[in-house]
Chain A
Amino acid sequence: MKNSGNPDVAGRELVRQAFRRQKTARIPWVPFVGCHGGKLIGATAENYLKSGHKIAAGLKKAAELYRPDGLPVMFDIQVEAEVLGCDLLWSEDAPPSVVSHPLDALSGKTISSLPEFSTTRGRYPEIARAMEIFRQDFGRDLALYGLICGPLSLALHLLGNEIFLEMYDNPDRIVELLDYCSGIARQSVDFYLQNGADVIAVVDPITSQISAEHFRQFVTPALNPIFEHIRNNGKLSLLHVCGNIERNLECMCEATWDNLSVDDRVSLPGLKDLAQKYNKSFSGNLNLTVALLMGNPDDCRREAIRNLDEGGDTGFILSPGCDIPFHVPSENLQAVAEIVYDDNQREVVRKQMIG
């Protein structure tokens, strides 16, 4: 499947070019199809996210409908937590939620008493199955993203909301916990690399809830070893943070990722300037709710134009601001794909926007 606009360049290569801040013949498009894949094949989010075969079928359908240059194998940052003993509450139309925190004050457990982490447990075998089928279906034409839970978000899963007070009351405990979570993340990275991922996306939304000082104090020392590990294995890294991180962008840019993925609460032109300063690439930031979920195809075409024009053709990947909600109408994402591929459509919509 060569979707690049240039018949000689596969989508995967377009994504790689954008990560390297090279000018691309067409801006690459990576829709974050997570539980939404379940909707595409008539499965609940729970059944979908527990089955490698269903995930592969959902990705295949997404590739047919949305003509992406890359896809995440799954968008669920509870996978690691589940292996480490967090109980999950499953939903029919959303990723699962963590409902118990094994390190919180109620449990009284310590890190050493957590279950041993292994990517042979939990849902990892199903993810491996999905990746294997994906490669059979698409060869190496599409970039495959492996998503891992970032260290601060995993630490929140394990410790619960206590983590925020502990940053002041017991910072050494948080440093130790984040170091542990960074190690778990590196094991998860190894799993995805062994199973053929091209890009490792570290998803850490909780970092939007802390200050730049706390980010530098606690998170950067836990994140950078993950990104170095990815780089040492010759692969590409991405940090995804949803939420309003405008004031933390500078400190986030100091970390050693290749690409920063943000939602629409971040100004793309501002991020573009910052990415250029730090010689990095960036992804974003289609609005998930007003445009993709609640809007119509015309709304989504306009939203795509905004993104493409603001992001530009060097070092930018068009993506939604986060995991695509389950119920997003397929025609809305197909409308985005039309704008990505069709120069004439873009001009028509631009004229309509001006008029």
Chain B
Amino acid sequence: MTRNQELYQAILRGDRSTVQKIFQSAIDQHADVNELLEDSMIPAMREVGERFARSEIYVPEMLIAARAMQAGLTLIEPILAKSNRKPRGKVAVGTVKGDLHDIGKNLVVIMLKGAGYEVLDLGINCPVEKYATAAAAGINIIMCSALLSTTMMYMKEVVNFFKNNSAVKIIVGGAPVTQKYADSIGAHGYGKNANEAVRIVERLTGAVA
């Protein structure tokens, strides 16, 4: 298990053509693409998230890194599907009802995919019924995003809706949201940024201690 430094660095700088070349070459040579994914691409996206959390990179850099990652994933998805590789978990992410902002939500989706999770992107303006549909489909991690202090209040409705369903965990985040607010509404987790959101998911899914 060794890191492919060229792939790792290509993800960090958002160089999708290099990512595509590396994966295509691996496919042509019948190499283990899962190893490239696990040992190089996922760690690179983790590093991207950590740099973002430290304000060393910003939204454009996150997005080009994600695009490079997606370019690689698109090439290897058919192979991964045949290999019965299981995702680390399933998560549903949506911006709450009344809120049409999606930058923060998209960053969380990117980071979760980059960490190996299967993500159901519920989009924007999500009523509680939409989250409930995801839970009914067996997804136990529900993530709610909001940019506005007014729409943030809807998170409480989502938490209340699931309060009798101990299997479902609610994680909240977004510009106006704080740990204090998350605690006050009974959310199971609060992600200060996209990177932290992934760490919370990892804790709740038992992926890390």
- Chain A residues proximal to chain B, CB less than 8 Å: 89, 91, 93-94, 97-99, 161, 164-165, 167-168, 209-211, 214, 242-244, 246-247, 288-290, 293-294, 325-327
Contact = CB atoms under 8 A, between A and B. Distances in A.
A211 B100 contact: no
B150 A94 contact: yes
B59 interface: yes
Contacts of B181: 289-290, 294
Interface in B67-116: 67, 98-103, 106
Nearest to B148: A94
B61 A94 contact: no
B13 to A, nearest CB: 10
Given A91-B98, A93-B150, A325-B150, A167 B60 contact: yes
Instruction: Find the residue from B101, B149, B180 having the highest chain A CB count within 10 A.
Output: B149
Interface in B145-166: 148-153
B191 interface: no
Contacts of A164: 59-60, 63
Closest 7 CB pairs of A and B: A325-B149, A164-B60, A94-B150, A209-B59, A97-B100, A247-B55, A211-B58
Interface in B123-162: 148-153
25 contacts: A93-B150, A97-B99, A161-B103, A161-B106, A165-B63, A168-B14, A209-B58, A209-B59, A210-B58, A210-B59, A210-B60, A211-B58, A211-B60, A214-B60, A242-B175, A243-B175, A246-B55, A247-B55, A289-B152, A289-B178, A289-B181, A293-B149, A294-B181, A294-B184, A325-B148
Contacts of B60: 164-165, 167-168, 210-211, 214
B119 interface: no
Contacts of B99: 97
Contact of A326 (B63, B150, B178): B150
Contacts of A168: 14, 60, 64
Nearest to A163: B60
Instruction: Find the residue from B100, B148, B150, B153 having the highest chain A CB count within 10 A.
Output: B150
Nearest to B184: A294
Contacts of A327: 150, 153
Contacts of B153: 327
A161 B102 contact: yes
B100 A214 contact: no
Contacts of B59: 164, 209-210
A288 B101 contact: no
A346 B135 CA distance: 50
A209 B62 CA distance: 11
A288 B176 contact: yes
A210 B55 CA distance: 10
A303 to B, nearest CB: 13
Nearest to A326: B150
B57 interface: yes
Instruction: Find the residue from A89, A99, A168, A247 having the highest chain B CB count within 10 A.
Output: A168
A294 B178 CA distance: 11
A99 B125 CA distance: 11
Contact of B149 (A210, A211, A244, A288): A288
A327 B154 CA distance: 14
Instruction: Find the residue from B55, B57, B102, B184 having the highest chain A CB count within 10 A.
Output: B55
